[in-house]
C-alpha cells in the first residue's frame, strides 16, 4: 500500500481553499510550477483527476470535492492534536455542524430554525456563517457546509448539486413603534399608502413578493431605508422611523425585543423556507432535528391557517 504524501495533500488543500494555484503558491512560499507538479503527483497517487481548469482559477471535480472533505478533516485534527499536546485543548473534541444562513433570511427566523440544534449542544459544535446565497451554495458544493437555510431556492444556473427540503411557510406582519403605527391602524392595509417602510433590498424573494402585492393594491409607501441584513433595520424601527416587515412566526418575539407592536398581517404575501443539503436523504442528526421541528412545530400553525 502506497503511503499518502501529506505535503502533496497540504498543497492540494490550500489550492482548493483559495481557488488558485498562484494564490496557493504565494501562501506556501513556493513557485507555481512547484505547486502544480505536486498536485499532479497527488492525482497520480490517487488515480483521480482532482481539478478542472476554469480560466485562471481551478474548480474541484467530484473526486476533488471528496478529497477536499477528507483533507479538511485531516488538517483540523492535526491542529487539534498540536493544541492538545500544548495543553491548550483539554475538552473532548465534538464534531462540527456547519450551517450557512442566507443573509436575506431574518435573523430571528434563523434563530428559531436552529433552536433544535442548541438542544443537541452536547453532541455538536454549531458553526454558523451568514453570507450571500450564491457563496453559501458554492461552499455547500465542496462540503464546507453541512446545511444551508434560506428563504429562496437556489437558482438553477448555479450548477450546484443540492436538494431542497421545504420547511414550511408563513405570512408577513408590519411592525412599528406604538406612536408610529397609531395613525395607520384604522384602514390597514390601505393605510400603507404613503407609510414609511424599512425594507429588505430589491431582488430578495420577500421584497419581490411584497412589491408585487403593493403594486396590485395600488399602494405607494415611502421607503425610508433598505438593507440586505435585517439586523440593520432594527435600530430605525425601534426609534420609530419606519415600519418593518417580519415573518409572522417570529413577530411576537421581534416585537418584544424591539419594543414595537404589530400593525397588521398581510396574508397575501407568504414566505417559504428551505433547508438545502448536499444529499437527498437527511443523515445528519442535527439536520433531521431542524426539519422535523420546523415542519411539526414552528410552521404547523401557519400551515393549518390557525
Give the pLDDT of residue 1. Answer: 39
Give the pLDDT of residue 158. Answer: 66
- Rounding to the nearest 10 degrees, give the CA dihedral for residues 43, 31, 11, 148: -100
The distance in angstroms from the start CA to the end CA of the chain is 63
CA distance 151 to 273: 4
Q: At what angle do helices 6-18 and 62-85 cross, to 10 degrees?
A: 110
CA distance 118 to 206: 27
Q: Half-sphere exposure (CA, 13 Å, Cβ side) for 188?
A: 16
For residue 202, the Cα-to-chain-centroid distance in whole angstroms is 19
Peptide bond into 189 cis (omega under 30): yes
- Full pLDDT tens readout for the chain, 306 residues: 357 888 888 899 888 888 888 888 888 888 989 999 999 999 988 888 998 876 667 778 888 888 887 887 787 777 777 766 766 554 555 677 889 999 888 888 999 999 988 777 666 788 888 888 888 888 888 778 889 999 988 877 666 778 899 999 999 999 999 999 999 999 999 999 999 999 998 888 889 999 999 999 999 999 999 988 888 888 999 999 999 999 999 999 999 999 999 999 999 999 999 999 988 888 788 899 999 999 999 898 655 554
Secondary structure letter of residue 40 according to DSSP = H
CA distance 59 to 52: 5
Give the pLDDT of residue 301. Answer: 63
Alpha helices by DSSP H, listed for 163-258, are 178-181, 205-217, 234-238, 251-258
Give the pLDDT of residue 273. Answer: 95
Domains in the chain: ranges and CATH: 6-85 (1.10.10.10), 94-306 (3.40.190.290)
Amino acid at each position: 500500500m502506497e503511503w499518502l504524501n501529506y505535503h502533496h495533500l497540504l498543497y492540494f488543500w490550500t489550492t482548493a481553499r483559495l481557488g488558485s494555484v498562484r494564490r496557493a503558491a504565494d501562501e506556501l512560499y513556493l513557485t507555481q510550477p512547484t505547486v502544480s507538479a505536486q498536485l499532479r503527483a497527488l492525482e497520480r497517487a490517487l488515480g483521480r483527476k482532482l481539478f478542472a481548469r476554469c480560466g485562471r482559477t481551478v474548480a474541484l471535480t467530484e473526486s476533488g470535492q471528496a478529497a477536499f472533505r477528507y483533507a479538511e478533516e485531516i488538517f483540523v485534527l492535526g491542529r487539534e492534536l498540536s493544541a492538545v499536546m500544548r495543553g491548550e485543548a483539554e475538552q473532548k473534541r465534538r464534531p462540527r455542524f456547519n450551517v450557512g444562513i442566507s443573509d436575506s433570511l431574518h435573523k430571528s427566523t434563523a434563530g428559531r430554525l436552529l433552536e433544535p440544534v442548541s438542544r443537541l449542544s452536547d453532541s455538536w459544535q454549531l458553526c454558523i456563517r451568514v453570507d450571500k446565497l450564491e457563496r453559501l451554495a458554492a461552499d455547500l458544493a465542496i462540503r464546507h457546509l453541512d446545511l444551508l437555510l434560506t428563504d429562496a431556492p437556489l437558482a438553477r444556473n448555479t450548477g450546484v448539486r443540492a436538494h431542497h427540503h421545504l420547511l414550511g411557510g408563513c405570512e408577513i406582519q408590519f411592525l412599528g413603534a406604538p406612536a408610529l403605527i397609531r395613525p395607520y391602524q384604522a384602514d390597514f392595509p390601505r393605510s400603507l399608502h404613503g407609510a414609511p417602510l424599512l425594507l429588505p433590498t430589491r431582488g430578495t424573494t420577500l421584497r419581490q413578493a411584497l412589491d408585487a402585492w403593493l403594486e396590485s393594491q395600488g399602494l405607494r409607501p415611502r421607503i425610508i431605508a433598505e438593507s440586505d441584513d435585517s439586523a440593520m433595520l432594527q435600530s430605525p424601527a425601534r426609534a420609530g422611523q419606519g415600519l418593518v416587515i417580519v415573518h409572522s412566526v417570529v413577530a411576537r418575539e421581534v416585537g418584544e425585543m424591539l419594543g414595537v407592536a404589530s400593525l397588521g398581517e398581510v396574508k397575501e404575501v407568504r414566505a417559504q423556507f428551505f433547508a438545502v443539503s448536499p444529499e437527498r436523504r437527511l443523515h445528519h442528526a442535527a439536520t433531521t432535528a431542524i426539519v422535523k421541528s420546523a415542519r411539526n412545530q414552528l410552521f404547523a400553525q401557519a400551515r393549518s391557517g390557525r
